[in-house]
Amino acid sequence: MNQVDSQRVHLSEFQRAAGLIRRLLRRRLPPRSATDYATHVPILVGLGCSLRIAKVLEFGAGFYSTLTFLNRLAFPDITSVHSIESDSEWISRVYAAAENDPRLRIRCVPEPIESILSELDLSEYDLVLVDSSTEASRRAALIRELAHRPTARCLFVIHDFEIDLYKAAAKGFLKFVDYSAFNPCTGVLWHARRDWEKGLKDLRCIVGCHAKTLAPEDIESWVKVFRKELFSRHGGFYLSKTSGG
């Protein structure tokens, strides 16, 4: 091996080691939250306070996400929440918790839940939440299908985004911002060629600043924080409406 080849080998080894270090640093997450089903709530509230979101599609209904969307304090512009859920018994419980809110419609779809995508027009929605399935491979399959629908102009929110399987499935999205102040983590992704990145990173900064003092499920406190912070920074709404290209 000559000197040039030796230098190339050392450079290659250095790059691999640097890549490993970066991956390990990215995985230094806070302890898993005691309310691990609610760690995406602050991000959802932040989006509701900074965007005029009217129509939501969620894969996986829940006491935290579904009720957050229906909370007029957090999402004052919501007109409809369309949930896709595979557990019929769970659907009854969520409907009861939502007190039969007329804006909520839950459809029971057996796994594979992504089979419903051919019947849905994603352009109708401002935000799509992915928090479905008890099996990681099933949720990854749904994410992969959504990632290959570049005509969708909405924001996509994926819970448990620290999972490598989900990140790999999401590679088809144009851009994303991840939120790791709470564990499990959350990712916000999009296809549209819009300059949402700075605004979404501002939300990440706000969540990070208050994560140690506010519980993730404390919707009222998060609304107060976002309204104060966003108004002081931008004078109110600062992200353009999600739908419409």
For 137-169, the pLDDT digits (tens) are 999 999 999 999 988 889 999 999 999 999 999
Q: What is the pLDDT of residues 183-242, one digit of tens each?
A: 999 999 999 877 889 999 999 999 999 999 999 999 999 999 999 998 776 655 455 455
Whose tokens are 């549209």? That residue is 192
Position of tokens 């739908």? 243
Q: Residue 244 above 50 pLDDT?
A: no
> What residue has token string 């419980």?
93
pLDDT for 78 beyond 60: yes
What does the pLDDT read at residue 9? 44
Query: Distance between CA 3 and CA 231 in Å, rounded?
Result: 60
List domains and CATH numbers for the chain: 35-234 (3.40.50.150)
Q: Which two tokens stand for residue 21?
A: 């270090």
**pLDDT of 152:** 82
**Contact assessment for residue 37 and residue 217, using Cβ atoms and an 8 Å cutoff:** no
- 28 vs 162: CA distance, rounded Å: 10
What are the DSSP calls for 92-133, one per residue?
HHHHHHTTT-TTEEEEE-PSSGGGGGGG--GGG-SEEEE---
The pTM of this model reads: 0.85
Position with higher pLDDT, 96 vs 6: 96
Contacts of 34 (CB under 8 A, 6+ apart): none
